[in-house]
Amino acid sequence: MDRPLVVVCVDGCQFEYITAAVAAGAAPFLGRLLAGGGTCFIADCVMPSFTNPNNLSIVTGVPPAVHGICGNYFFDPESGEEVMMNDPRFLRVGTILAAFSAAGAKVAVITAKDKLRKLLGSGMKGICFSSERADQVTLAENGIDDVLDRVGMPVPSVYSAALSEFVFVAGVKLMERERPDLMYLSTTDYIQHKAAPGTPLANDFYAMMDRNLARLDTLGATIVVTADHGMNAKHGADGQPNVIYLQDSLDAWLGLQRARVILPITDPYVVHHGALGSFALVYLTALDGQPQIAERIAALPGIETVLGRAEAAARFELPSDRIGDLVVVSRLDTVIGTSRDRHDLSGLDVPLRSHGGTSEQKVPLLVNRGVTQPPAAHRWRNFDAFDLGLNLAARTA
Ligand SMILES: [Zn+2]
């Protein structure tokens, strides 16, 4: 490496957020990258287009079929329990970050939400902390201390733009003082769930990001910016979310306790999306009627695709032992719920924006340098980010 590499995963960064902020004059640094000062690709994220599977793909360079993390939850039919997948024991490969730290590189990871910290830091020596728990860091656990003093910000609310700003400001401070060889910054999509591209709230967020990226650029880092997934409006003209309550439909068709709907978007922080996304898993107690059930789900208005386990594992590069008998994807403007009475939508103070489907698969992949040997007809993936920054970005004197 001729200089440090910073890979930034901007949570929920539909490409239009960047182009709209640039058009509004709010993001001059990103504007320079788009105008030829860097290299820009549109890449595909992994399915489901959720946060954890994609963050893990970016730091491992492989799809969920290989690394094993395909959502926040999976259902263990043996125990009948929904198991949270935020523990490193569910990770089936090592990370690029861990490999670099083992080879003696100075590595740093800063994530907005603490739910990702242990997975991202799995097997890694170096600095690893979340802005959510920035007041609880210790040298022993996080490889750094006094983070609040260094950053000069209080611990942000978990539902705020400041949670992501803290990640960027801390990243700049680390680059100034510790100068890690490799740094991974991962934000949260609180703003993207609330605000459409080009709105003042969104442009302010990208302006904040732009200032900090420009600073990292001045400090001489190669910067790769990508996203874990896009983000789309999932509501009708009346502002009400377009929801298919799939558990209610299955219960009505099959009787109670014949099918179980799992929403892998569910996590402890559901206020801003009500646990509603465009991807669901269905577990069936008996498989004999599966094709008919799949057909019936596919006929519901707003459903895009219903696949059996093997087909879904192959098409979406998913671990077949951690998905349902059926994998269901809804269309761009529609989300899938379990039962109506299990979703608390009282926290949705603006019309629903969410993700999870193939409609949120297109994400930006930008680097602040030229690219020496762009592979011909390459399907760029967000998990090419480290390869792009380390191996394909042009070296300069
Ligand atoms: Zn996300």
Using CB atoms within 10 A of its CB, is residue 179 exposed (0-12), middle (13-18) or buried (19+)?
middle
User: Given this model, what pLDDT does residue 397 score?
Assistant: 44
Q: Compute, in angstroms, the gap from residue 188 CA to the centroid of ligand 1.
A: 6
CA of 52 to the centre of ligand 1 (A): 7
Mean pLDDT score of the chain: 94
How far apart are alpha carbons 66 and 102 in whole angstroms? 21
Bridge pairing between strands 107-111 and 182-186: parallel
Residue 225 Cα to ligand 1 midpoint, Å, equals: 14
Q: ω into residue 48 within 30 of 0, thus cis?
A: yes
Instruction: Write down the pLDDT at residue 375.
Output: 67
State how far the Cα of 230 lies from the Cα of 9, in Å rounded to an integer: 12
Residue-level length of the chain: 397
Q: Helix (H, G, I), strand (E, B), or coil: what is residue 183?
A: strand
- pLDDT single digits (tens) 215-256: 999 999 999 999 999 999 999 999 999 999 999 999 999 999
Percent of the chain with pLDDT over 70: 97
In whole angstroms, give the CA distance from residue 166 to residue 163. 5
Residue in this structure with the two tokens 């978007």, named with its chain if needed:
265
Q: By mean pLDDT, which of 26-35, 70-79, 298-307 is the weakest? A: 70-79
pLDDT digits (tens, 9 = 90+) for 368-390: 999 887 667 789 999 999 999 99
* Confidence grade of residue 72 (pLDDT, cut at 50, 70, 90): confident
- Cα gap 160→109, rounded to integer Å: 20
CA separation for the pair 125, 121 (Å, rounded): 8
pTM: 0.96
Is residue 74 over pLDDT 70?
Answer: yes
Q: Using alpha carbons, select from 211, 196, 127, 198 the residue that is nearest to residue 164.
A: 211
- Report yes or no: 170 and 151 within 8 Å, Cβ to Cβ: yes
CA of 227 to the centre of ligand 1 (A): 8
Q: Give me ligand 1 centre to Cα 229, in Å.
A: 6
Q: How far is the CA of 251 from the centre of ligand 1 (A)?
A: 30
* 315 Cα to the center of ligand 1, angstroms: 21
pLDDT exceeds cutoff 90 at 267: no
CA of 292 to the centre of ligand 1 (A): 33
Q: Give the Cα-Cα-Cα angle 252, 256, 260 (nearest 5 degrees).
A: 95
Query: What's the CA-to-centroid distance between 202 and ligand 1, angstroms?
Result: 15
Q: What is the mean predicted confidence (pLDDT) over 168-190?
A: 97
Rounded to an integer, what distance in angstroms lies between the CA atom of residue 49 and that of residue 383? 13
Query: What separation in angstroms does the CA of 73 have from each of 125, 263, 268, 322, 341?
Result: 27, 8, 11, 9, 20
Q: How many Cα atoms sit within 13 Å of 361 on the Cβ side?
A: 15
What are the pLDDT digits (tens) for 312-350? Answer: 999 999 999 999 999 999 999 999 999 998 888 887 889
